[in-house]
């Protein structure tokens, strides 16, 4: 399977370190304990003190007066389509998560401040440990595609399916309220809360309540569960996903503050995924326990037949198809990864260009928001003799070369750049791996450089080349649209947190374009070129990570 990888690629994609580790902070155990005591504990106490409550499902046994019966084809279709998309999103989401296997509720992501982590690594304090070093392996059995440093491919699968998952949900909700099927799911009386609790007490104390025939109506706990999944979990998943976007966060920061910060949104996104998984496990278990054949007929062929196994065969066929697709998707990921990248681009790039990419960043952060820790990332350009000599002399001899399709090509020292202009911004850095950090950046607005060099009218793209290398070797570079370079906050920074930029974070010069993910912020900039198109450089995909790791060209999400 791995014969098409060279030795460097094998080390990157299939590392020896594959340990699985879960570490929950004490506050997490306290919250889990409180949740357990507050639900199952109270239910058991009620049973010991007062006995079982009356089962409200007794009133649901008479189906003669039920007006909403059965499941139309559109419900059946949406149900199984949702199952398929949700499976893909969970598997690809887990692979994305493990590229930075730590979850926080603070915006700075300092090691040790995470509430949950999936790595045994304690970040060393006496050596350089980058966010790439911290990425972990995830088994292909649960992750799509699995392996480490595959976040580009995992994001490709994720964003290929997100729009269709949302569209399927919209179709379902619209059709739900166009008829009378909403009555099965949407509670119409507050009585459902004590009724649902009574049913829960039966389950929690291992006393099976009477199961009404789901072809006609659900018990109170089922109804609330389905309502929460459809009208709370799904919107939360979408909203938290949006709040992790640098374009959204830098323009509508107060939206992100609904979850505290960007990392709060990421953590809630993960918790929503866990809720989906928990619901699926319980849902499938109850479908089997309360009459597998009849229930499968309900949701596959729309009949209430108690013995016909057609529904079982169809349902298992859909499950096997989904598993088969995951196996196929894994094969595609490593044999035709460019297909994943291109398909995701066809679906999403124009959508993002026409919507969130047009948003202009606004300043929100203050000096007191600056993170005490900022993850380093990228390969220091130690193999570049030129860069090392410049660094030894504090970059006094550094000259930024600016050329391409311009009327006035220039070479500018740091002092020259500083004399042109300076802007300072305190912004949040959004890494594609998932971590974030707030820092102050000071440097030359790119619009001033554009005014100086006077690009040709045919220019649409600006390429930034680094002294450093990509993960798989070769000069690191990335491209931005001319429009994004002109947006507020887009600067060539020589200052970080009111101090000269250090070599770890990109000296002598690094890029900041605040509506994009971090890999677009080229560090250790050697030169800049103005181009007609990103397709004329590298492999034609817009950047070193886009060329080698199948990242997105437009990095708004």
Is 519:479 a contact under the CB 8 Å cutoff? no
Structure tokens that stand for 92 in this block: 């690809």
CA nearest 542: which of 457, 461, 484, 482? 461
β-bridge partners, 152: none
Contact residues for 396 (Cβ-Cβ < 8 A; gap 6+): 413, 414
Structure tokens that stand for 354 in this block: 């026409």
CA 387, 389, 392, 397 torsion-angle sign: negative
Distance from C-alpha of 71 to C-alpha of 48, rounded to nearest angstrom: 39
pTM to 2 decimal places: 0.94
Distance from C-alpha of 269 to C-alpha of 277, rounded to nearest angstrom: 13
Helices (H) and strands (E) in the chain, counts: 21, 13
Burial class for 142, CB neighbours closer than 10 Å (0-12, 13-18, 19+): middle
Distance from C-alpha of 132 to C-alpha of 104, rounded to nearest angstrom: 18
Angle at 235 between CA 231 and CA 241, to 5 degrees: 160
Output the pLDDT for position 7. Answer: 75
Output the pLDDT for position 262. Answer: 96
Structure tokens that stand for 356 in this block: 């969130």
CA nearest 203: which of 225, 230, 231, 233? 225
Q: Give the residue ranges of the chain where pLDDT is below 70.
A: 1-4, 18, 64
Output the pLDDT for position 66. Answer: 79
DSSP secondary structure string for all residues of 188-230? -STTHHHHHHHHHHHHHTT-PPP---TTT---HHHHHHHHHII
Output the pLDDT for position 220. Answer: 93
One of 3.20.20.70, 3.40.47.10, 3.90.420.10, 3.40.50.720 is the CATH number of 360-548, namely 3.90.420.10
DSSP secondary structure string for all residues of 298-366? HHHTS---SS--HHHHHHHHHHHHHHHHHHHHHHHHHHSHHHHHHHHHHHHHHHHHHTGGGPPP-----
Burial class for 497, CB neighbours closer than 10 Å (0-12, 13-18, 19+): middle
**Fold identical between 7-56+74-100+135-330 and 360-548?**
no
Is 428:502 a contact under the CB 8 Å cutoff? no
Output the pLDDT for position 555. Answer: 94
β-bridge partners, 464: 478, 528
Contact residues for 528 (Cβ-Cβ < 8 A; gap 6+): 400, 401, 402, 403, 404, 449, 462, 463, 464, 465
Secondary-structure class of domain 7-56+74-100+135-330 per CATH:
mainly alpha
Helix (H) or strand (E) holding 388: helix 385-392
| Cis amide prior to 508 (ω within 30 degrees) | yes
CA nearest 81: which of 142, 182, 165, 163? 165
- Interhelix angle 292-300/310-335, nearest 10 degrees: 70
Distance from C-alpha of 551 to C-alpha of 100, rounded to nearest angstrom: 16
| Domain locations along the chain | 7-56+74-100+135-330, 360-548
Specify the pairing of strand 510-512 against strand 400-404: unpaired
């Amino acid at each position: 399977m791995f014969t098409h990888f060279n030795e460097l690629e094998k080390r990157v994609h299939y590392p020896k370190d594959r340990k699985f580790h879960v570490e929950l902070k004490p506050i997490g155990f306290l919250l889990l304990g409180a949740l357990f005591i507050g639900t199952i504990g109270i239910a058991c106490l009620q049973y010991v003190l007062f006995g079982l409550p009356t089962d409200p499902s007794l009133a649901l046994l008479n189906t003669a007066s039920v007006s909403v019966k059965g499941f139309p084809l559109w419900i059946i279709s949406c149900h199984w389509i949702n199952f398929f998309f949700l499976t893909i999103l969970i598997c690809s989401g887990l692979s994305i998560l493990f590229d930075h296997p730590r979850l926080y509720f603070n915006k700075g992501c300092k090691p040790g401040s995470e509430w949950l982590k999936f790595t045994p690594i304690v970040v060393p304090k006496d050596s350089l440990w980058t966010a790439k070093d911290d990425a972990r392996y995830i088994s292909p059995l649960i992750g799509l595609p699995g392996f480490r440093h595959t976040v580009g491919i995992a994001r490709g699968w994720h964003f290929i399916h997100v729009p269709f998952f949302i569209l399927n949900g919209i179709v379902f909700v619209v059709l739900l309220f166009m008829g009378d099927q909403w009555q099965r799911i949407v509670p119409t009386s507050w009585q459902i809360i004590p009724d649902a609790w009574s049913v829960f007490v039966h389950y929690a104390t291992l006393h099976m309540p009477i199961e009404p025939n789901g072809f006609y109506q659900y018990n109170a706990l089922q109804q609330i569960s389905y309502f929460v999944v459809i009208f709370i979990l799904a919107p939360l998943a979408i909203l938290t996903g949006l709040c992790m976007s640098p374009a959204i966060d830098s323009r509508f920061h107060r939206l992100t503050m609904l979850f505290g910060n960007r990392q709060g949104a990421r953590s809630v996104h993960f918790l929503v995924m866990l809720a989906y998984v928990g619901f699926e496990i319980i849902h499938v278990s109850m479908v089997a326990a309360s009459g597998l054949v009849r229930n499968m007929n309900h949701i596959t062929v729309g009949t209430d037949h108690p013995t016909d196994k057609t529904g079982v065969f169809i349902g298992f066929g859909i499950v096997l198809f989904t598993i088969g697709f995951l196996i196929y998707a894994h094969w595609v990921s490593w044999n035709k990864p460019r297909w994943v990248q291109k398909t995701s681009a066809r679906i999403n790039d124009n959508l993002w260009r026409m919507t969130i990419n047009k948003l202009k960043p606004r300043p929100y952060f203050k000096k007191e928001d600056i993170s005490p820790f900022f993850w380093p990332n990228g390969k220091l350009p130690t193999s570049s003799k030129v860069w090392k000599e410049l660094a030894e002399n504090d970059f006094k001899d550094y000259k930024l070369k600016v050329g391409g399709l311009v009327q006035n090509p220039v070479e500018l020292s740091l002092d020259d750049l500083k004399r042109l202009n300076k802007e300072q911004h305190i912004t949040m850095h959004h890494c594609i791996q998932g971590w974030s950090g707030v820092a102050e950046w000071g440097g030359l607005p790119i619009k001033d450089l554009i005014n100086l060099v006077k690009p040709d009218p045919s220019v649409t793209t600006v390429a930034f080349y680094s002294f450093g290398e990509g993960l798989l070797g070769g000069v690191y570079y990335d491209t931005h649209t001319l429009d994004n370079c002109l947006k507020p906050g887009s600067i060539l920074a020589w200052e970080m947190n009111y101090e000269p930029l250090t070599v770890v974070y990109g000296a002598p010069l690094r890029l900041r374009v605040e509506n994009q993910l971090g890999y677009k912020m080229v560090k250790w900039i050697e030169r800049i070129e103005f181009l007609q198109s990103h397709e004329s450089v590298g492999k034609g995909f817009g950047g070193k990570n886009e060329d080698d790791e199948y990242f997105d060209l437009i990095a708004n999400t």
